[in-house]
Structure 1
Amino acid sequence: MKRLLSIVTCLLLAVVAAHAKYVPNTKWPYVYEDFTKGTVYSADNQKSEGLLNIHLAGNVLHYVGKDGKVYANDNRRIARVEIGQDAYIVVDNRLMQVVSQKGADVLLKLELADFSQLTQGSGGAYGSSLNSSASNLLSSLDLGGLNRPEHGMMLQEKHDGREIPVSTVYYFAIGGQCIEANKGEVMKYAGEERKAELTRFIKEKKVKWKNEDSLKTVLEYLSR
């Protein structure tokens, strides 16, 4: 009986671990829990494949080199990145995930980390991308993934760091502009002529500005 209970307990723990939400930490400050097979398409139409991830310090693409070390790619040379089933484009020198597309217009997602909270307590602005104060304090965090570390060593330490606060910001890349996906910015983009119509649309569709399905609906409206 004890043996059976022990087996059941182990199985339950395994199920819980499998469904636990991944949370980045200072030893593994990445968007993805593991480096994943992907493809990089450069601005000059070159293509390369490898194990990829996105480092949350500066929103930079990292890859594992043939020597087992982790290297950073220059976002300015990237046109598109595919990591697993996810696709990214570079906007304002930042890698943003493509959530939905309508013709040439897209809904984008940017994941941001606030490292300043780890050194200054709750005084930092949550969800800000790597700000100047955070940049000055990165060295004190013993942040993983910097200075060409060994991938194998990082894997050994990946669960030993402090949790990093991460938030998500959505954007519309539409009509040649990139605007944050919130009511104020969308209203400004629509202009006075469409303000009343857009207000009715938002009310009728009960748009929630942090909900991807709602934002996909807004993208459809704006792309008409």
Structure 2
Amino acid sequence: MVAVLLCLSGIPTGAYTPTTSWPYAYETFSPGSILTRQGTRIDYDRLNVSLVSGRVHYVEDGVIMQADPNSTVMLEIGDELYRNVGGRMTRVLKETDRAMVLLSVTIDTDAMSSADIGYGKSSVASTSNLSLTAISSGMDYSVNRSLDDLTAERSHGEPLVLREVRGVYYKGAFVPATRSDVLKVPGIDKDAVKRFLKENKIKFNNIDDLAVLADYLCAME
């Protein structure tokens, strides 16, 4: 089974809850840094991660901007680290010398579609809220908007349904943490991997075990 968490609030009561009017990984834009493909580290006073597109947003002269996903490799906000995987920033749960265990967080539009809590079905996003269609399209309506305006509207949204999946980083891709997905990885020795999983008693719901598995896969390259 994939380690999946579906939730309307995403986080226990009293903690931060992403919404359709504030679809961000963090409650506020916070200091952090971006590592580019050229190896340059760029510090920012205010950064956040869009849950709609998975891209990095920053604030410049009070306006929300989007960092270039083609040049962004890593992101650090507070004590949390992200890796760009296929254009989406994916949180790093554990890092070894040559591998990573990742957590993919996306908006579950299927669950939102079936939830009876008033999500908009219009194809157009309102000024203060994302419709279900807009979310499904990956449209970041907050880009090029005033941070103050967006902050003022944040209380008008509905809670997002989030889908969290653990996985390992392998050859630039996210491999979900399941036996079947790991064995589907192109080019691996499936029999050797099966033996490794059995001999090392790898548990796919254990982060440390996933780190061991990720290291092993990287060593096979």
Q: TM-score when scaled to structure 1?
A: 0.71
CA distance in 1, matches of 2:91, 2:153: 27
Number of the residue aligned with 1:56: 51
1:142 to 129, 150, 157: 129
Q: Give the match's secondary structure for 1:158.
A: helix
CA distance in 1, matches of 2:84, 2:180: 24
Structure 2 residue runs of 5 or longer lacking an equivalent are: 1-11, 131-139
CA displacement 1:42-74 (0-9 Å, x = unmatched): 223333222100111111111111x21111112
Q: Give the match's secondary structure for 1:98.
A: strand
Mapping of 1:48-197 within 5 angstroms?
48-50=42-44, 51-65=46-60, 67-115=61-109, 117-118=111-112, 120-122=113-115, 137=123, 139=125, 142-143=129-130, 146-174=142-170, 178-189=174-185, 191-197=189-195
CA distance in 1, matches of 2:191, 2:199: 14
Structure with more relative contact order (C-alpha pairs < 8 Å, separation 6 or more): 2
Alpha carbons 2:32, 2:43 under 8 Å: kept: yes
- Identity among equivalent positions (%) equals 22
Instruction: Tell me the C-alpha RMSD between the 2 structures.
Output: 3.2
CA distance in 2, matches of 1:176, 1:150: 34
CA distance in 2, matches of 1:201, 1:159: 51
CA distance in 2, matches of 1:46, 1:103: 20
AA partner of residue 164 (structure 2): T
The structure with the largest helix share of the pair is 1
CA distance in 1, matches of 2:172, 2:55: 24
Number of the residue aligned with 2:39: 45
Q: Aligned residues, how many? A: 192
Alpha carbons 2:19, 2:159 under 8 Å: kept: yes
- Which sits farther off after the overlay, 171-180 or 24-33? 171-180
Alpha carbons 2:86, 2:173 under 8 Å: kept: no
CA apart distance, 1:220: 4.9
Q: Give the match's secondary structure for 1:52.
A: strand
Structure 1 residue runs of 5 or longer lacking an equivalent are: 1-17, 124-133
CA apart distance, 1:83: 1.0
Alpha carbons 2:105, 2:164 under 8 Å: kept: yes
Alpha carbons 1:27, 1:145 under 8 Å: kept: no
Select the structure of larger CA radius of gyration: 1
Q: TM-score when scaled to structure 2?
A: 0.72
